[in-house]
Structure 1
Amino acid sequence: MPSCPALFISAPASGQGKTTLTAALARFHRRAGRRVRVFKTGPDFLDPMILARASGAPVYSLDLWMVGEDACRRLLAQAASEADVILIEGVMGLFDGTPSSADLASVFQVPVAAVISAQSLAQTFGAIAFGLSHFRPDLPFYGVLANRIASPRHSDMVRAGIPDSIRWLGEIGNDAGFELPDRHLGLFQASEIADLEARLERAADVIGQTGLSELPPPVHFPEPEHRIDVPRLLEGMAIAVARDDAFSFIYPANLDLLAALGATLAFFSPLADEPIPSGADALYLPGGYPELHAATLASCELTAASIRAHAHAGRRIVAECGGMLYLIDSLTNVAGQTTAMLGLLPGQATVRSRLAALGMQQLDARSLRRSRADAPAPHDSETDEKLTGHTFHYSVLDTSLVPLGHATHPITGAHGEPFFRSGPIVASYMHGYWPSAPRFVASLFYDPPE
């Protein structure tokens, strides 16, 4: 049974500094020569980019619903067999969501360190720490760290309110030198922060002066009892994947699944006006920020011509969220500027200043067949898989396309994001976690002979 020192970094709410301090700790251990594996709780693309730069290794998602308990167990067991320390960053507040960060930490008995911003707090800090540590008896609570301490006097008042029963892990002062910038969808992408390395190094120096720098206790991570064999349904297929600052919302596990299904992956950058790699049988356009790069994308004629030729040849295109917006007629940003896109799907999208959709989603593969009997559906009609994932976007799409089907909310069953099929293109706002439905995902990338 593999074991490894492991720590779960959580907080009472978003915005407390979880990502910054998890990245700082990852860089601290990496500098010490340790092999570090970092995981992010829940659906997220931006935080893992920062954490991957800090740790030097890909960052995978853990979520008891989207990923599944067995798959989480498998990922942790593999990491424990390879790493010297495992760090898990929580999502939102410790007890927020169903399932929550606390649920994940409790299932795997990973000790929880709570990061609490002390901004605008004094002795009440201790009440919050007490609540987090005692709310659930089954939660292995490790200690508390105070972030954004303003002065020595502020530190004294914060510490005065903390019960002796709660381990004090130290404090971090207000230091704009390593706070991470953010925008409407979350943190800036790692590639967009010019001085990210300097920020990580400074943050590692500071975290090294706290109790978080000590290795946490080892945790045992047994392998799941059941082995999963992925059928090689994409054997011999070449799949082109757009990957740059405009198309970067990609789960590493999704790429792993395509490879396990037998596909060969080739990456290209639409922002660099690169064409689809030669010989590609299918194309994956992931989500990202096309609205921030619309003018550049519109000027990249070589990329546009290759994607249009790919579509007109009847080769499959799978597009998620921002990837879908690249395929439509036009995209209007929040400032009201409209830019022509590829025109392969009818529709216009407008980016708004307020969130348009947020939440977990799931798609029953069978629902696509039931919804439109006259529509060409993906192959493997016997699959009863459910694709898990999420949605998070500020744009609204106006299209004449009739949805092939809809995802649903996993708890309420309410209608979620539509799935569109137009010729060889399958598109949706939903970001799927593909390992949850391998056969269905394979069906998105090719049709069998008629």
Structure 2
Amino acid sequence: MTGYTVVDVETTGLFPGGHDRIVELAVVQVDPDGRIEDTWATLVNPGRDLGPQQIHGISTSDARHAPSFQDIAGHAAQLLRGRTFVAHNAQFDRRFVWHAFAATGYDVPLIEPTTLCTMRTGAQLFPTAPRSLAGACAHHGVALASAHEALADARAAAELLRIYLAGGARHVVPGWDDVVELAATTPWPVIPATGAGPVRRGVSAERDTHFLARLAAARTTPITTWEKEEYLELVDRALLDRHISAREHDQLAELCGQLGIGRTEAAALHREYLAGLASVASADGVLDAAELADLRAVAAMLEVPAADAGRILQDAATAAEAGSGTGDRPGRYPLGPGDQVVFTGAMDEPRDVWERRAAAAGLVPRPAVTRKVRLVVAADADSMSGKARKAAAYGIPVVSEAGFTRILDDLVRPTPAGAGPVSQVPADPSVPDVGNRALLTRDR
């Protein structure tokens, strides 16, 4: 008797065999008595948007580093072959895993007669205990470290299996031994292993470096006006929602490589960009705390040193006080009434709600991405949905719900009518004192 494999999957939705896919797979191998022998887990790149991220908590910035199921099919088969498939609500997990193998061209013997379910077994052994994984774990005193994280859920289900085996599941559940024997003797197809390694949550923090760090130190020839314009246009699109996504870091690094822009040139252009934004903010004679916070956030995202940012903001504050702001800026991606916007993915708010908000701000919601679309809003700015991938190919910004909320606020915010008396802005410890002392504002 070879034992069991306890499996848990996180998915993009509820319907295997259709559009939904596995986004995380965990396998816990246990011996015939339910003792854990080995564990394995990985994120899986589904090649589409990640579905209800608010439930499974997986970010696209992590998932984009993950292998596809086809990449891990051979190793997963090794872990499952000859063992009884076990899961909590096993029909759900089994069907997703079977369909994932089928999509790679393999018909594997993951069928109901080779499967055991800890939810059903628990109901038979302990009729008064809750059926959900969290409820069953609480009832039996099993730790559930992080619900909806595949390995945590699989470990918890494995511990429930051990308790049920100790409680006589083999004798209470009809046909238990027949299921185990059939799973052990049913042959599996030979699926070659690719050598793809597992990828865990949080990988983006390790692998996704700031795009400046990926550039060569400097170029040997002066940067041309065209190259400067091309680069600043992409910077402006990336900062439209005041967030540089992992995809945008890649795009910026790639463009710098194509244009031959090094860290020295990029850093100089970032200072110029920040000065342009500050000039716009001060053009109405007002530079308030919110505007300063926004400018400091941009400086941080572009890695403008604090001393340089302080000097730039000091100059802008002086211009605001003197009423000499020019309003000129390097921004090249205005968004306004009549512009088309597309929504994609499983967002927190219903799509029709977002479409109504967009329309109220003068934008035009559209169902599909074309070159006329100006913005795509996704559950995750790094969304891998078809619409998001098409937008990236067309150079259309992709922003998250939070980013879109900020954009809507900017679209509907009224233009200041005038200026009042000068007041002092609270100091920001991240900017040198010499700059903060001069960062003056006028109360609206």
TM-score, normalisation: structure 2: 0.32
> In terms of Rg, which structure is larger?
2
Which structure features the higher share of helix residues? 2
The structure in which a higher percent of residues are strand is: 1
